[in-house]
């Protein structure tokens, strides 16, 4: 892998990171994918299923901002390998656990691997972006979304027929990812050495007062809450909803979940380049508020329309994540790892908290009520109106450059 030159995109590095992100999130998504199996074998309630999701996502959310803050000051090129090792151990624990308590421990250890992997890999992706930050974040993130989509499909094909112990087979993916990430670490270390030899301009932010920055971060967190709690309602309970409402089999429900998560991956890839061209605020507006009509329709749809609506929801809602992360990094320049850790952590944390709360509500009121209630979450997208236009000058300059490039041949 070559070191990056100014303004160039290190495509090989981005593809490697995206591929490892796919393997990482594929392994992690196995937990949610086998919830129906664990519920049956261990006689768990929906509340206990929610606590399993919380154990995984709490360790990820709690540690990610701390890891990002630390690596902003002390970058660790080979911490990505350490994160993959933690995922490896968690998978073995999950495969061999004979009690609910050990399932909780395995889920928490897998979450620790995620907390180490995401902040630093997001930093490397930005370094390899050549200035196309939205595209780089989307390429990196689409790997994770693809892995989340493949997890349920592989669970349906392998884990459901062969049982809990077959989860250990996926530890081979962690070994492959660790080897690739070691090579990425070598590239990262060399890139930092080269960057240290050149004078680096001071990172410039939008020049907002500190209180305005804090308020903007709070708005972004609220928007992330809306997105991720709704996503948690699908990723954790969609299979149960399909089984209970339409009587489909467990394997068929996993395939429907795979289709939804595939749409999430596609939406993520679209969101980054659109944000690079038209601005992150536009993407956030269209993504969160724009999905509202479809979430309102979903609880009242039949089996034909339900997967169609969830595909539309996945495509539209997923495009917000890359936009929110890059918007936050532009808001707080020089704190790439902190921002990535914060929003990846919030993503996991809110998803875990949402899964736990929604599980309790499902026990009390039923799965259908969960979707009727969550349908209104995208209304919070109206808060996007209060986000400052921090990219206005940059977008105007990019527009002028495109117009000049289009007009130059005719001159």
Q: How much helix, strand and coil, in percent to the nearest 5, is found in the chain?
A: 85, 0, 15
CB 152 within 8 A of CB 257: yes
* Half-sphere CA count of 333, side-chain side, radius 13 A: 12
Residue 394 is classified by DSSP as H
Question: Structural domain of residue 236, as residue ranges?
Answer: 13-191+209-391
One pLDDT digit (tens) per residue for the chain, 411 residues? 555 444 456 888 989 999 999 999 888 878 877 787 888 888 888 888 888 877 887 787 777 788 888 877 887 778 899 999 999 999 899 888 888 999 999 999 998 898 888 888 888 888 888 777 777 878 888 888 788 778 777 877 888 788 888 888 988 999 999 999 999 989 988 887 777 676 555 555 666 788 888 899 889 988 888 888 898 888 888 988 999 999 999 888 888 988 898 888 888 888 778 877 888 888 898 889 899 999 999 999 999 999 999 999 999 998 888 888 888 888 888 777 778 777 777 766 676 677 778 888 988 998 899 999 999 999 999 999 999 887 765 655 555 555 555 565 544
Q: What is d(CA 163, CA 161) in angstroms, rounded to the nearest whole number?
A: 6
Per-residue confidence (pLDDT) for residue 39, from 0 to 100: 84
Q: What is d(CA 234, CA 248) in angstroms, rounded to the nearest whole number?
A: 16
With tokens 């920055």, the residue in question is: 213
Per-residue confidence (pLDDT) for residue 404, from 0 to 100: 58
Per-residue confidence (pLDDT) for residue 167, from 0 to 100: 86
In a domain, 204, yes or no: no
Q: What six digits make up the tokens of 28?
A: 């992690």
Alpha-carbon distance values, 138 to 95, 321, 348 (Å): 32, 9, 18
Per-residue confidence (pLDDT) for residue 140, from 0 to 100: 85
With tokens 């160039």, the residue in question is: 8
Q: What is d(CA 69, CA 52) in angstroms, rounded to the nearest whole number?
A: 27
Q: What is d(CA 142, CA 269) in angstroms, rounded to the nearest whole number?
A: 6
Q: What is the 3-state secondary structure (H, E, C) of 302-324?
A: CCCHHHHHHHHHHHHHHHHHHHH
The candidate with the shortest Cα–Cα distance to 350, out of 16, 40, 67, 54, is: 54
Q: Which residues of 22-51 are buried (b: 16+ CB within 10 A; e: fewer)?
A: bbbbbbbbbbbbbbbbbbeebebebebbbb
CB 362 within 8 A of CB 237: yes
CATH number at residue 231: 1.20.1250.20
Per-residue confidence (pLDDT) for residue 209, from 0 to 100: 85
Q: What is d(CA 231, CA 377) in angstroms, rounded to the nearest whole number?
A: 10
Per-residue confidence (pLDDT) for residue 6, from 0 to 100: 40
Total domain count for the chain?
A: 1
In a domain, 200, yes or no: no
Q: What six digits make up the tokens of 403?
A: 């117009």
Per-residue confidence (pLDDT) for residue 331, from 0 to 100: 86
In a domain, 65, yes or no: yes
The candidate with the shortest Cα–Cα distance to 283, out of 149, 138, 168, 407, is: 138
The candidate with the shortest Cα–Cα distance to 80, out of 335, 337, 349, is: 337
In this structure, how many other beta carbons lie within 10 angstroms of the beta carbon of residue 392?
A: 12
CB 250 within 8 A of CB 120: no
Q: What is d(CA 14, CA 222) in angstroms, rounded to the nearest whole number?
A: 29
Longest dimension (CA), the chain: 75
In this structure, how many other beta carbons lie within 10 angstroms of the beta carbon of residue 355?
A: 28
Q: What is d(CA 58, CA 354) in angstroms, rounded to the nearest whole number?
A: 11
């Amino acid at each position: 892998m070559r070191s990056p030159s100014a303004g160039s995109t290190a495509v090989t590095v981005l593809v490697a990171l995206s591929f490892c992100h796919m393997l990482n999130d594929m392994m992690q998504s196995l937990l949610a994918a086998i919830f129906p199996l664990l519920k049956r074998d261990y006689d768990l309630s929906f509340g206990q299923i929610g606590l399993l999701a919380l154990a995984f996502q709490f360790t990820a959310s709690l540690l990610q901002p701390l890891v990002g803050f630390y690596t902003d000051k002390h970058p660790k090129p080979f911490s990505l390998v350490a994160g993959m090792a933690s995922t490896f151990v968690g998978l073995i624990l999950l495969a061999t656990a004979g009690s609910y308590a050990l399932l909780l421990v395995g889920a928490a250890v897998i979450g620790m691997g995620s907390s180490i992997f995401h902040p630093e890999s997001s930093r490397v992706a930005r370094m390899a972006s050549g200035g196309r930050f939205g595209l780089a974040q989307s390429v990196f993130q689409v790997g994770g979304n693809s892995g989340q989509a493949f997890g349920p499909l592989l669970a349906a094909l392998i884990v459901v027929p062969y049982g809990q112990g077959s989860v250990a087979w996926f530890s081979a993916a962690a070994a492959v990812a660790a080897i690739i990430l070691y090579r990425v670490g070598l590239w990262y270390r060399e890139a930092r050495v080269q960057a240290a030899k050149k004078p680096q301009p001071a990172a410039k932010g939008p020049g907002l007062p500190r209180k305005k920055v804090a308020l903007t971060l709070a708005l972004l967190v609220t928007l992330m809450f809306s997105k991720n709690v709704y996503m948690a309602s699908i990723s954790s309970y969609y299979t149960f909803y399909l089984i209970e409402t339409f009587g489909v089999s467990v394997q068929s429900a996993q395939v429907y979940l795979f289709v939804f998560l595939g749409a999430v991956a596609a939406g993520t890839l679209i969101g980054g380049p659109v944000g690079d061209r038209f601005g992150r605020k536009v993407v956030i507006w269209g993504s969160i508020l724009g999905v509202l009509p479809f979430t309102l329709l979903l609880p009242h749809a039949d089996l034909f329309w339900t997967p169609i609506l969830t595909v539309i929801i996945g495509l539209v809602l997923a495009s917000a994540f890359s936009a929110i992360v890059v918007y936050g990094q532009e808001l707080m320049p020089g704190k790439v790892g902190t921002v990535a850790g914060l929003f990846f952590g919030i993503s996991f944390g809110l998803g875990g908290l949402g899964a736990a709360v929604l599980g309790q509500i499902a026990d009390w009121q039923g799965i259908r009520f969960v979707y009727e209630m969550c349908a209104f979450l995208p209304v919070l997208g109206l808060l996007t109106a209060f986000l400052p236009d921090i990219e206005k000058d940059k977008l105007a300059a990019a527009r002028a450059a495109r117009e000049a490039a289009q007009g130059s041949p005719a001159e």
